[in-house]
């Protein structure tokens, strides 16, 4: 009898040592703790939904041990907590480095003690610790699934421990989904881009998404509704995550664009002033050249007809002067290596004058080009996201006025230079952009292949 008591005491002591608040390592703890995460069917929305109860992968795991009545108690506690306003939804946030920050209220404790603590709604706040995950929009959902599996406790199925399966659900288009009365639906998906800012629909249909779908594509499609669901095997209810809207996705980019627009506005005014002075100086120089030609013509005319030298002496001088002018102009265009045109000469003169004025007025050309390039890149990104969300972006609110937009468009199109140089600059920019897109596409393919 004493030996039996000693063995029982040793077994309970070893179980107490191995069992921690974070994870219960004993067989009994796994069986009881698994009950907290198991549920055969899930309710993704309210009772009025077309697909309010959706069969999931839980249906095939009916042999999970140690269920008892813990699931019913947790569901009741969860319902009471929701009635008292306890926040149990997840969030999907944007970051300044264009990554997505997923915050999920996943459980931080397992085992028998954790299950009993779940019977009170006040304990849910303390037992659910937010989990933050940084993901890239080009990564697949299967990568996010593995991240979640690495953080949540394992479940016990048929005396074996396994990682819980994770499934992602998003609201489907109500017009595209067939209902009970009409088996035909439209073949066009509607997009709103409002995300969690959209209206709360009483009836919503849910669809399961493949793990090979990119996170960015999934979020863009889920933006038709207010939230999407992360279904973790073993939980009595799915985790609802608020979908970021177009404003949320582009918040940091638009804020960055607004801050940059102030600097661009100030620098564009100084640049415009210098450019106007440079163009005026070039036009004055051109007028001065015409005045010099008129003066030369008047001098030749006067010396020829009103002096004793006459045409016999002035003729070789005019030939030599004209030939010297042609040779000097030819040599000058060879030096600048540009087209022999008035526009090339004018642009050369303007650029020289601009360089002098920029230096005198303290205008930093390198800083201006970097700001304009970054601002145009942000504009392109926001426009692309707006096209993906099928919304209209009011560019003037973020740029601050037409002056900034015109300055950025001129810099983007290379209108400050002549046509040939502008085309070359634009072509180089397009080649760089195409090369970057190809590299990004190759990285996506490599990530998909690795996953």
pLDDT 10s digits, 12-32: 444 333 333 333 333 333 333
Question: Low-confidence residues of the chain, pLDDT below 50?
Answer: 1-87, 109-126, 176, 180, 182-183, 187-189, 191, 195-196, 417-420
Dmax over CA atoms of the chain, in Å, equals 149
Rg (CA), the chain: 37
C-alpha dihedral (156, 239, 55, 135), degrees to nearest 10: -90
Which pLDDT belongs to residue 290?
A: 92
The pLDDT, as a whole number, for residue 368 is 92
Q: So what's the pLDDT on residue 143? A: 92
Pairing of strands 239-242, 90-94: parallel
pLDDT score, position 146: 92
Query: How far is residue 348's CA from residue 416's CA, in Å, rounded to a whole number?
Result: 12
Tell me the C-alpha distance between 225 and 436, whole Å: 33
For 133, half-sphere exposure in the C-beta direction (CA atoms, 13 angstrom radius) is 25
pLDDT in the model for residue 448: 62
In 226-250, alpha helices (H): 246-249
Using DSSP, state whether 170 is helix, strand or coil: strand
Per-residue pLDDT reduced to its tens digit, 382-410: 988 888 777 888 888 888 888 888 888 88
Question: Model-level pTM?
Answer: 0.56
What are 206's strand-pairing partners? Answer: 171
Token readout for 109 is 């404790």
Neighbouring CB atoms inside 10 A of 306's CB total: 9
Phi, psi of 4 (to 5 degrees): -65, -40
- C-beta neighbour count of 412 within 10 angstroms: 18
Beta-sheet strands, E only, within 218-301: 227-232, 239-242
Confidence at residue 390, expressed as pLDDT on a 0 to 100 scale: 78
Length, in residues, of the chain: 451
């Amino acid at each position: 009898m004493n030996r039996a008591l000693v063995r029982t005491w040793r077994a309970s002591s070893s179980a107490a040592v191995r069992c921690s608040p974070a994870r219960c390592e004993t067989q009994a703890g796994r069986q009881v703790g698994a009950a907290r995460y198991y549920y055969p069917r899930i309710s993704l929305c309210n009772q009025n939904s077309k697909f309010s109860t959706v069969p999931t992968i839980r249906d095939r795991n009916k042999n999970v041990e140690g269920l008892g009545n813990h699931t019913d108690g947790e569901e009741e506690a969860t319902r009471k907590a929701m009635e008292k306003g306890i926040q149990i939804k997840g969030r999907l946030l944007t970051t300044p480095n264009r990554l997505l920050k997923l915050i999920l209220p996943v459980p931080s404790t397992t085992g028998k003690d954790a299950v009993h603590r779940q019977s009170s709604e006040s304990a849910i706040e303390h037992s659910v610790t937010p989990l933050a995950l940084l993901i890239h929009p080009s990564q697949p959902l299967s990568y996010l699934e593995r991240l979640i599996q690495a953080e949540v406790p394992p479940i016990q199925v048929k005396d074996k421990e396994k990682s819980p399966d994770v499934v992602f659900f998003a609201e489907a288009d109500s017009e595209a989904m067939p209902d009970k009365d009409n088996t035909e639906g439209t073949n066009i998906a509607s997009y709103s881009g409002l995300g969690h800012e959209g209206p709360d629909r009483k009836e919503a249909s849910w669809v399961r998404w493949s793990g090979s779908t990119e996170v960015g594509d999934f979020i863009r499609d889920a933006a038709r509704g207010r939230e999407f669901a992360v279904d973790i095997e073993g939980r009595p209810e799915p985790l609802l995550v608020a979908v970021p809207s177009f404003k949320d996705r582009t918040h940091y980019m638009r804020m960055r664009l607004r801050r940059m627009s102030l600097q661009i506005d100030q620098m564009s005014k100084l640049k415009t002033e210098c450019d106007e002075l440079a163009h005026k100086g070039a036009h004055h120089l051109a007028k001065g050249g015409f005045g010099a030609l008129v003066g030369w013509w008047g001098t030749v005319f006067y010396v020829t007809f009103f002096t004793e030298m006459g045409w016999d002496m002035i003729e070789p001088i005019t030939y030599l002067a004209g030939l010297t002018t042609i040779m000097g102009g030819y040599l000058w265009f060879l030096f600048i290596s540009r087209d022999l045109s008035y526009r090339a000469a004018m642009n050369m003169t303007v650029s020289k004058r601009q360089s002098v004025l920029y230096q005198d007025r303290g205008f930093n050309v390198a800083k201006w080009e970097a700001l304009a390039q970054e601002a145009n890149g942000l504009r392109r990104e926001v426009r692309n996201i707006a096209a993906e969300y099928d919304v209209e972006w009011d560019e003037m609110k973020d740029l601050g006025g037409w002056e900034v937009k015109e300055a950025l468009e001129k810099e983007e199109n290379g209108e400050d230079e002549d046509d040939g140089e502008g085309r070359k600059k634009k072509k180089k920019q397009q080649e760089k952009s195409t090369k970057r897109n190809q590299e990004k596409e190759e990285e996506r393919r490599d990530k998909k292949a690795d996953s």
